[in-house]
Amino acid sequence: MQRKFNKSIGIVLVLFGVVLLITKGELEKLLNLSFAIGDIWMLIAAIVFAIYSILVKNKPKKLSLLSFQLSTFILGLLYMFPFFIWETLTIPDIQFEPKIVASILYVGIFASLTAYVLWNKAIESIGPANAGMVYYTLPIFSGLLAYLLLNETIGMIHLYSLLLILSGIFTATYTFKRK
């Protein structure tokens, strides 16, 4: 019971930190939110990925992680194949330059294969709820990269958001030891 309470409090802290960051501390901006179609697609993608992450925990124990990953990728390939055919017929050919090939290899090897294998291993090890907490660090790393690469400024609102997000992650994932 205490664990669920901690997780709930942690998620509330994290969400408040993210909302504080997005609104730059002006919470009345939430009243004027509007969504583009891409926002809706990303929401659907996030929900589907959350369902996937929960179901990964139920994969048969005898099925190795790599076999599971291969079957997942084959199913994805079958699903995407009609779209590939449609795109091939309707969009002009792409001129494959070294930059494009390198980008495709990066996405295929690191952002797909390696990321999914590591994600599934994390779910196996610590469960989908704790593994899912990693997503709350995305605003932190995005902000850090924006500061380092784009010379964005970091203000107090960013530091407050950082503290809320990190304390929320800690609260949601920390396990109290009983004597």
- pLDDT tens over the chain, length 179 residues: 677 777 788 878 888 888 887 788 787 777 787 778 887 888 888 888 888 877 877 888 888 878 888 888 898 889 999 999 999 899 888 888 999 899 988 888 888 888 888 888 888 888 777 777 887 888 888 888 888 999 888 888 888 888 888 888 888 877 666 65
Cα 61 from chain centroid (whole Å): 25
- Specify if 86 maps to a domain: yes
- Specify if 83 maps to a domain: yes
Domain that holds residue 161: 2-24+64-173
* Tally of structural domains, the chain: 1
- Specify if 46 maps to a domain: no
Tokens of 131: 């593994």
- Specify if 168 maps to a domain: yes
Per-residue exposure over 26-65, b if at least 16 CB sit within 10 Å of its own CB, e if not: eeeeeeeeeeeeeeeeeeeeeeeeeeebeebeebeeeeeb
- Specify if 145 maps to a domain: yes
Tokens of 105: 């290899």
- Specify if 19 maps to a domain: yes
In angstroms, the CA 109 to CA 88 distance is 23
pTM for the full predicted model: 0.61
